Amino acid sequence: MKHSFLMYILLLLFTISLISCDEKDDNHLSPEAPKQLTLQAIGVATGIPISTVIEGVDIEVSGNAFTMDLFNKETGAHIGIVTDINVFAETFEDGSMQGENYTIFTFDEDNSTLVMHNFINMTPIDNTTLQAVIDTPKTESNVIGGTGKFAGELGGSTLNATLDMTEFAIGTIGFNCTYGIKLN
């Protein structure tokens, strides 16, 4: 009887220890998200109509999606892709534009994403080129989440971009964008 009681206690302790163990926690297995990033998006892309829910922030968007290559600005290494979903744009008589977009950075290393919600001001440099920057008051809080190592991350970013609008009439834009991202 004493032996079975002892076995019962050991079995109970073993069961409790199994129940108290956490399941796999991807946040602890993934490397910590860097707090500052300098990223460059370069490429020529044609807008594709899209309607989707952005993973990691659960926001439904509709607009034209432009996807291009993503590089680490400091090393020049190719690190993924960036998709810009333009949900609103307005063009003015002087050729300037204002737009609203969601930018999704997808990193090759672990398929993590980082999502920004931007209000963009674009001014003409010449007849076919626009200079684009994020509306300054929004630069402190335009990083709104992500997935993987960026899940729940918030922060802000700057943008310095040159947009080649030569083929804009057919929905194609040349991008050279540099993002300075600071996470909280």
The CATH number for 89's domain is 2.40.480
Identify the H or E element spanning 46: strand 36-46
In a domain, 158, yes or no: yes
In a domain, 130, yes or no: yes
Sequence-separated (6 or more) residues with CB below 8 Å from residue 159 = 118, 120, 132, 133, 134, 177, 178, 179
In a domain, 177, yes or no: yes
Q: What is the pLDDT of residues 43-65, one digit of tens each?
A: 999 999 999 999 999 999 999 99
Q: Name which residue leads in pLDDT, 85 or 159.
A: 85
Query: By percentage, how much of the chain surpasses pLDDT 90?
Result: 66
Predicted pLDDT at 13: 36
Predicted pLDDT at 45: 97
Q: Name which residue leads in pLDDT, 15 or 113.
A: 113
* pTM > 0.85: yes or no: no
Number of domains in the chain: 1
Predicted pLDDT at 133: 82
Q: Which domain holds residue 151?
A: 35-183
In a domain, 25, yes or no: no
- At 116, is the pLDDT very low, low, confident or very high (cuts 50, 70, 90)? very high
